[in-house]
Structure 1
Amino acid sequence: MNTFLSRVGSAGAAHPWRVLSLWAAVLAAAVTFAVVAGGEAHDDYDIPGLASTTGSHLLTDRFPEMSGADARVVVHSPDGAVPSAELSELGANLSAMPDVGVVAPPRLSADGDTAILDVRYTVPVTDFTGTEGTDPLEAAAEGARAAGLQVEFGGQVHENTSAPGGAAEAIGIGVALLILVFAFGSVVAAGLPLLVALTGVGVGGALITALAAFTDVSTTAPTIASMVGIGVGIDYALLLVTRYADGLRDGLTPVEAAGYANGTAGVSVVFAGSTVLVSLFGLRLAGLPVYSSFGYATFLTVGAVMLASVTLVPALCGLAGRRILGRRKPQRRNDTGTGTVTARWAARVGGRPLPWAVGALLVLLLLAAPVLQMRTWPQDAGSQPTSDTTRVAHDLIADEFGPGANGPLLVVVDLAAGTDPESVAAAVRTDPGVALVGTPLVNRAGTAAAIQAEPTSAPDDEATTETVQRLRAALPEGTHVTGWTATFVDISERLADRLWLVVAVVVTLSVLLLTVVFRAPVVAVKAAAMNLLSVAATYGVMVSVFQWGWGADLLGLPGPVPVSSWVPILMFTILFGLSMDYEVFLLSRVREHWLRTGDPHGSVVQGLAATGRVITCAAAIMIAVFTGFALDANITVKMLGVGLAVAVFLDVTIVRMVLVPATMALLGRRNWWAPAWLDRTLPHLDVEGGTREPNTVRA
């Protein structure tokens, strides 16, 4: 692979315009296909095997008027009771909207100044694209607003309409560019990684749009994919440009330097990117279609970015030539591990490894402690900014009708089983967690009934989950508890159950891949353990910031909110892949020096000295990009942005700068131990292009 990538790099630098033309053609073709034949992002919450799904399918088959999306129109009068004439007109307007099955009679608050009109559609919320669902609702409310009434909207239709983004991401990319300029001292060198990352993300985004024509792709998936793609794209290109600059300082020509960079750092990029791609496969094990789409989207983007890095970077470097070095006086690189701040730090930690290792471990465990209190719940209106209409509607309903009114349950009764809906309604009323039970609605054929029940607690309250579980245990056969709140309960439980399966599979695959790359099972297992500690610490910080509300104000949140159910598994797979990026970059240099010298302590010092600057710079860029996404209005994207930024910070400080040198110093030559049978079995993969020497410790 070293030879192949080296030839690719040299050829790209020797014929840059051919490579640039090829990538321009690829990007144009991908965008054209996406425009002509691409599809729309589409969330799919029809999840086989969930208890709530059985009830929703029964409604779809026998009671379509009650089976689709719901919208809640909240009308508030600042001057006393809401006029009945205005409510009648509003109800008529809502009934005339397309795809509406049922509009319930207005429900008035105790003082009469607030009313709720529940709208049931015959189509699921995922059938609406853009503002197709919200525009008719806004038009229907124009008369009531003209009469001086406050009209706000809740329910699935408005809550599933994504606000346009881009500003927060632009801020992160701008900060990343400033960091690159500072690191290289050259605008040319700074702009090159960013251009490569954006090209790869552009191709990946077009492929995601094309993919949406053939399968469901979550509306959030393209944003997540671009966030990861920009981060790793800049990282990969930065590593290659740094090696290219090293080659120039060593007296190589631009073509030779590009081949040298691709034959060394390019191999690390391929293996690091492969680790990310392997980790993403773990999302399929979550058992939710929406997670599969996250995996597909991010896989396409990271794959495009990785390919762009090892082909487009050499071509751009060939065009830039020695301008990569900027106006600073060129100096030969220091790759001996002496004299740098990182080398001195590594020597200090390696001199007393045990206290440093114990101290770092205690810090990570302390940060991870809050994870024991983690409560997950999919985002809802209660986590939106106070200026959002869904949040205003949520607060009005909670204040006037009680917190449970924001999360009604729908009890579906299969009348073909001989169950009496009135007796079911009576049984639901006896549950201590139920505040209100509506009159059973029976379909025209008399084969199914639907009963709406309101819990006494808010949707994201643990008491609501317990209420759903009690009802399911107590109600007779043929009765199903469904609705949006019950679906979220089932999703949270499914994800909590599958998290450990995803962790086990991703960790196992990553350990196997690292073992193949470095021929050292001890290094692979140690890297996985450190990454698990880093992820656990990140989860703990997430609980402190979001669930405990320690950073709610800074992030524009109204107050403490549960950790989004979508985040833990998604963040784990992404974080494990990204952490392995740095592990590959660092350990490949350490192993290169180990094979050259056979000195286990000196190889760690030299490896850290050689990679410290580029890893620190890469981490700072990733933190900037992820922090930009933390400003996104979508709570899932916001949590992922915060989590990924925190994880990268912990990884580059506590893990790479303390735990890695400390543990490698403690283990010494045992780091590179491998059983003789394994050493004979594994292929020889020279990740950094160094000469293999017989320093592997065998059993």
Structure 2
Amino acid sequence: MSRLLYRLGKAAALRPWRFIAAWLAIVAVLAGLAGVAGGALHDNYTLEGTGSQQATDLLEERFPALSGADARVVVHARSGAVDQAALAAATGELREMPHVSVVDPPVPSADGTTALMTVRYSVPVTELEPGETLDLLRSATHGLSDAGHQVEFGGQVPENVTAPSGVAEAIGVGAALVILLLAFGSVVAAGLPLVVALAGLGAGVSGITLLAAVTDVATTAPTLATMVGLGVGIDYALLVLTRHREGMAEGLTVPESVARANATAGQSVIFAGCTVLLALCGLVLSGIPVFMTMGFTTGLVVTTTMLSAVTLLPAVLGLAGRRVLRRRDRAAGARIVVESPRIRRWAEHVGRRPWPWLLAASVLMLALAAPALGMRTWPSDASSEPASNTVRQAYDLTADAYGPGANGPLAVAVDLTKVERGALPGLGERLAATDGVTDVAPPRLSGGGDAAVIMVTPEYGPQDERVTGLVDRIRADVLPPGSEITGLTAAYVDLSRTLSDRLWPVIGAVVATSFLMLMIVFRSVLAPLKAAAMNLLSIGAAYGVLTAVFQWGWGAELLGLPHSVPVSSFILLLLFAVLFGVSMDYEVFLLSRVREAWLRSGDARGSVSTGLAATGRVISSAAMIMVAVFLGFAADPGLVVKQMGVGLAVAVALDATVVRLVLVPATMSLLGRANWWLPRPLARILPDIGVHGGSAPPAVPEREPEPSRA
């Protein structure tokens, strides 16, 4: 691979416009296809094998009118009672909307100031255009708004509407540009990683839109993919650019320097990217479609940014020539300082006294992780949305007028081929007598008379900790065989349990495959084990900080949340997969240089300080960029994206400081030569990849001319 990347980098540097034109064409074609044939985003929360999914399947089979998506229209009179004439007119217009099967009669509140209408569709939300459908709901209820009523919308359809503002992306790109300017002192050097990352990102996001035309893609998937792709894309380009500047410091021509940078740093980029992809593949084991698409889409963007770093970046570096250096360095022909003496001295200091530093850093990381022991995970609902959002206002109006449980009614689906119809009244009575239930509606029979559904209103809202016990009591003590419970709250219970049950298999699979890959790359057993342990420590600390910030409320208001909220159930699995891959990036970058120094000198301890000195600046700059990008996404209105941004920022910051600057030199100094121990049987069968740069391609004897520049 090193030779292939060398030739690819040399060709791109010598003929830059061919590669740039090819990338422009790829991005343009993909963007055009996405605009013409791209699909819409939909969430698919199918939970195969769960009780709520069995009840949903029964409703789809025998209650077509109740099996599709739903929307809730909440009408509130600002003064007096709701206008009944305007309410009846709106009900009629709602029935005429496309795909609407039933509009339930308006349910007035006790004081008559609020009315609740449920609009039921004949198709699932995945077959609707949520934004367009919400516009139709507004149009159908314009008479109520004109009459002076407050009209808000909740339910599946409105909650699937996404309106990305681009603010998070702008914050991240702006912060990255400032950091790169400070790091390189050259506008060209600062701009190139951004341009290359954005080109890969553009191709990947267009690919996501095309993917949405043939399968369900989660509404948050593009935002998550953009967050990760932007961070790793800049990092990958930064790594190759830094190695290229080192080559020019050694007196190489621009094409030769670019080729060597691509052969060494580019190979590290490929393996770091593959590690991220392996971690994301772990989401497939969740078995939940929405997670699987998040993994696929994020992996797609990581792939395109990785490819842009080893194909497009060499071209633009060849075109830029020596302009990637500071002006004074170009003018004076000064040699570039590629190592950090300060970081070298620090690494040597830690290496001389490894035990105190190891213990202090470990205590700090474990203290940060401690709050995670009390973490409560639960899917986010409309109550976590900003107060200005229509779904949040609908939630609040419903809770005030009908009680918090009205926002998460339970649906008991009864298969009357297995349960006697005469048992329905008794079932309703037992449901009403269950602790935590406030209301039970009369049974509704299917058209064929072979199924029934009973709507149950709980006392608690969907995020209340007590709803899990209520659902469990109904299932264990009330429901006869042949019946099951579904609805938002029951689905939340099943989703949380499913994710908890599948977390450990995902962790095991990701850690095992990453360990195997790093063992092959670095031909060591202990180095990959240490890397896995360090990454798990960073992830644990991120979980702990998330618990303190969101669940304990130690920063919820600063992040635009109305109150403290549970950590989203999606976060544990999603954050682990992304973080493990991203953290391994830095591990590959650092260990590549450490092993290179080890093979050259044979000094186990000295190679650690040499590797840290060589990579300290680039890893610090890359980490600062990633933290800035991820914190920018903490401003996103979506709770999952917000929590992902905070968790990723915390983990990367800790990984680049406490882990890379303290734990790594301390543990590697203690292990000494054992860092690179590999049993002889494994040494004979494992391939020697040489990602560390020790097998760089031979130098080209003649110094080729630099490409002409306009």
TM-score bucket of the superposed structures, by smaller chain: over 0.9
State the shift of 1:28 in Å: 2.5
Q: Does 1:187 align with 2:190?
A: no
3-state DSSP class of the match of 1:558? Answer: coil
Q: 5+ residue gaps in structure 2?
A: 697-710
Correspondences of 1:16-35 after superposition (within 5 Å): 16-35=16-35
Other structure's SS at 2:154 match: strand
Partner deviation per Cα, 1:405-448 (whole Å, 9 max, x = no partner): 11111111111223332222112112102111111111222111
Aligned pairs (5 A) from 1:300-319: 300-319=300-319
Letter in 1 for 2:459: T
1:618 and 2:586 aligned: no
| Aligned partner letter, 1:173 | V
Q: Distance in 1 between matches of 2:587 and 2:131?
A: 44
1:368 maps to which residue? 369
**Is the CA contact (8 Å cut-off) linking 2:43 and 2:160 kept in structure 1?**
no
Aligned to 1:432: 435
- Residue 347 (str. 1) matches residue 348 (str. 2): yes
* Residue 101 of structure 1, CA deviation: 2.4
Is 2:42–2:125's contact at 8 Å kept on the other side of the alignment? no
- Paired with 1:30 and 1:323, the residues of 2 have a C-alpha distance of 31
Bigger drift between 486-495 and 649-658 goes to 486-495
Cα offset, 1:35, TM superposition: 3.2
Of 554, 575, 586, the residue aligned with 2:579 is: 575
Moved more, 69-78 or 258-267: 69-78
Call closer, same or farther: CA 1:308–1:135 in 2, change over 3 Å: same
Paired residue for 2:386?
385
The superposition leaves residues 499-543 of structure 1 with CA deviations (integer Å, 9 ceiling, x where unpaired) of: 111000000000001100101110000100110010011011111
Separation in 2 of the partners of 1:85 and 1:237? 63
* Alignment TM-score, normalising by the size of structure 2: 0.95
Amino acid at match of 1:138: R
Matched, 1:467 2:473: no
Partner of 2:113: 113
- Counterpart CA distance in 2 for 1:340 and 1:443 is 77
1:104-150 CA-to-partner distances (Å, cap 9, x unmatched) read: 22223232222222222222122221422212211222111222221
> 2:594 matched to which residue of 1?
590
Matched, 1:83 2:83: yes
Matches within 5 A, 1:493-642: 493-642=497-646
Partners of 1:548 and 1:685 lie apart in 2 by: 47
Q: Please give the per-residue CA displacement for 1:293-331, whole angstroms capped at 9, x wherever unaligned.
A: 111111211111111111111111110000000213254
Question: Any conservation in 1 of the 2:440–2:455 contact (CA below 8 Å)?
Answer: yes
1:81-160 counterparts in 2 under 5 A?
81-160=81-160
1:7 aligned partner: 7
Q: How many Å separate the matches in 1 of 2:328 and 2:354?
A: 37
Deviation at 1:630, TM superposition (A): 1.2
1:674 match: secondary structure: coil
Name which of structure 1's ranges 305-314 and 415-424 shifts more when overlaid on structure 2: 415-424
Aligned residues: 690
C-alpha contact (below 8 Å) 2:413/2:452 kept by paired residues? yes
Aligned to 1:695: none
**Does the CA contact (< 8 Å) of 1:595 and 1:691 recur in 2?**
no
User: Are 1:256 and 2:260 an aligned pair?
Assistant: no
Say what the alpha-carbon RMSD is for the aligned residues: 1.5
Q: Which moved more, 1:584-593 or 1:85-94?
A: 85-94
Moved over 4 A (4+): none
- The residue that corresponds to 1:45 in the other structure is 45
CA apart distance, 1:269: 0.5
Shift of 1:182: 1.1
Partner Cα separation in structure 1 for residue 180 and residue 317 of structure 2: 15
Matched with 2:706 is none
Query: Is the Cα–Cα contact under 8 Å of residues 77 and 114 in structure 1 kept in the other structure?
Result: yes
2:368·2:544 contact (CA, 8 Å) conserved in 1? yes
Q: What corresponds to 1:210 in structure 2?
A: 210
> 1:650 aligned to 2:654?
yes
**Following the alignment from structure 2 to structure 1, what is the Cα–Cα distance between the partners of residues 110 and 29?**
61
Question: How far apart, in 1, do the equivalents of 2:355 and 2:468 lie?
Answer: 45
Q: Which moved more, 1:580-589 or 1:452-461?
A: 452-461
Q: Which residue of 1 aligns with 2:178?
A: 178
Letter in 2 for 1:467: L
Q: Give me the identity figure in percent.
A: 56
Deviation sequence 1:71-125 (CA, Å, 0-9, x none): 2211222323323333333333323322222222222323222222222222212
Q: Describe the superposition over 1:36-82 as per-residue Cα deviations: whole angstroms up to 9, x where unpaired.
A: 43322222223322211111111111111111122221122232332
Tell me if structure 1 keeps the 8 A contact 2:419–2:480: no
By how many angstroms is 1:334 displaced?
A: 4.6
Cα distance in 2 for residues equivalent to 1:677 and 1:690? 22
DSSP 3-state at the match of 1:117: strand
**Does residue 400 in structure 1 map to residue 404 in structure 2?**
no
Name the stretch that deviates more: 416-425 or 435-444: 416-425
Q: Which moved more, 1:169-178 or 1:522-531?
A: 169-178
| Alignment check: 8 A CA contact 1:203 1:304 kept | yes
Following superposition, the deviation at residue 462 of structure 1 comes to 2.0
Which residue among 442, 445, 460 is the counterpart of 1:457?
A: 460
CA distance in structure 1 between the partners assigned to 2:334 and 2:287 by the alignment: 54
Corresponding letter in the other structure for 2:13: A
Residues in 2 aligned to 1:29 and 1:429: alpha-carbon distance in whole angstroms: 60
Instruction: Provide the C-alpha distance between the structure 1 equivalents of 2:400 and 2:24, rounded to a whole number of angstroms.
Output: 56
Q: CA deviation at 1:611?
A: 0.4
Distance in 2 between residues matched to 1:156 and 1:217, nearest whole Å? 16
Q: How far off its partner does 1:333 sit?
A: 4.3
What TM-score, normalized to structure 1?
0.96
Query: What CA distance in whole angstroms lies between the structure 2 residues aligned with 1:563 and 1:225?
Result: 20
Secondary structure of 1:499's counterpart equals helix
Whole-Å Cα distance in 1 between the matches of residues 462 and 695 of structure 2?
A: 61
Alpha-carbon separation, structure 1, partners of 2:109 and 2:70: 20
CA–CA distance in 2 between the matches of 1:384 and 1:175? Answer: 27
Provide the rounded CA distance (Å) in 1 between the counterparts of 2:165 and 2:647. 19
Question: Is the deviation greater in 659-668 or in 504-513?
Answer: 659-668
